Amino acid sequence: DVKVTQSSRYLVKRTGEKVFLECVQDMDHENMFWYRQDPGLGLRLIYFSYDVKMKEKGDIPEGYSVSREKKERFSLILESASTNQTSMYLCASSLLPGQTDGYTFGSGTRLTVV
Amino acid sequence: AQTVTQSQPEMSVQEAETVTLSCTYDTSESDYYLFWYKQPPSRQMILVIRQEAYKQQNATENRFSVNFQKAAKSFSLKISDSQLGDAAMYFCAYRGRGGSEKLVFGKGMKLTVNP
């Protein structure tokens, strides 16, 4: 089975810190995604990547950046964490365009910014 | 832009009963995919069922089936013989077929299963 691993299940950071959320997938998937999940708002796309060193903004990219130096790894970066970035962050991956199985998700990182 | 609407934030069902979760979407595309995902307390999002818009036949997966009404842009999920393990958040999602790989999610619905 495809596995998407997020490095931390829970994370507590201070306001202003630079935060890295790491995601690794083990099945050579082309596409990787970062979502944040908030109660009553569902999942909102932050950034996604179709290939190494490629990235595209999602619906809520402000305050975030990403890095994809290797195909299997997609990092989400909070340059200066703020309390309104307290949320659940979900990473996902999928195969080439046209593949119909939706996404494979990681187990999420619950980030608290204090 | 495509949107997905789940109008009921919470529902409950008795064990062994049947429950239907509703979802509507808005799109100008004619070909696309629709999905239902389940997120139990473990937080792992699990694909429950998918439907390809060009297929008229409704998808089924064991106790899970959909009622896909393309003209009405409706995609409801029916869970038969509900089990305690079905308790979770359920998300409806849309993905276009025209090369975009982005999944657009609804806001989710919490399903409680009562013993």
Q: What is the pLDDT of residue B101?
A: 67
Q: Does A1 touch chain B (CB under 8 A)?
A: no
| Total structural domains within chain B | 1
A41 vs B contacts (CB less than 8 Å): 107
Return the CATH number at B7: 2.60.40.10
Q: How confident is the model at residue B31 (pLDDT cuts 50, 70, 90)?
A: confident
Tokens of A55: 């990235």
- What's the confidence (pLDDT) of residue B96? 83
Q: Candidates 2.60.40.10, 2.30.38.10, 3.40.50.620, 3.30.420.10; correct CATH number of A4-113?
A: 2.60.40.10
- 3-state DSSP of chain A: CCCEEECCCEEEECCCCCEEECEEECCCCCEEEEEEEECCCEEEEEEEECCCCCCEECCCCCCEEEEEEECCEEEEEECCCCHHHCEEEEEEEECCCCCCCCCEECCCEEEEEC
Residue B55 has a pLDDT of 87
The pLDDT of residue A43: 93
Question: Are the beta carbons of A101 and B50 separated by less than 8 Å?
Answer: yes
Domain extent at residue B17: 3-114
Mean pLDDT, residues B13-30 taken together: 95
B13 touches B111 (CB < 8 A): yes
List the single residue in B with minimal CA-CA distance to A41: B107
pLDDT higher than 90, residue A10: yes
pLDDT attached to residue B110: 96
Domain boundaries, chain A: 4-113
Q: How far is CA A74 from CA A31, A62, A80, in A?
A: 10, 18, 19
Which of A31, A42, A105 faces B108 most closely, judged by CB atoms? A42
Q: Which of B78, B107, B85 is nearest to A40 (CA)?
A: B107
What's the pLDDT tens digit per position in A30-89?
889 999 999 989 999 999 998 898 899 999 999 999 999 999 999 999 999 999 999 999
pLDDT at B51 over 80: yes
State the pLDDT at residue B99.
56
Q: Look at residue B67 in the predicted model and tell me its pLDDT.
A: 96
Q: Above 80 in pLDDT, residue A99?
A: no
Confidence class for position B97, pLDDT limits 50, 70, 90: confident
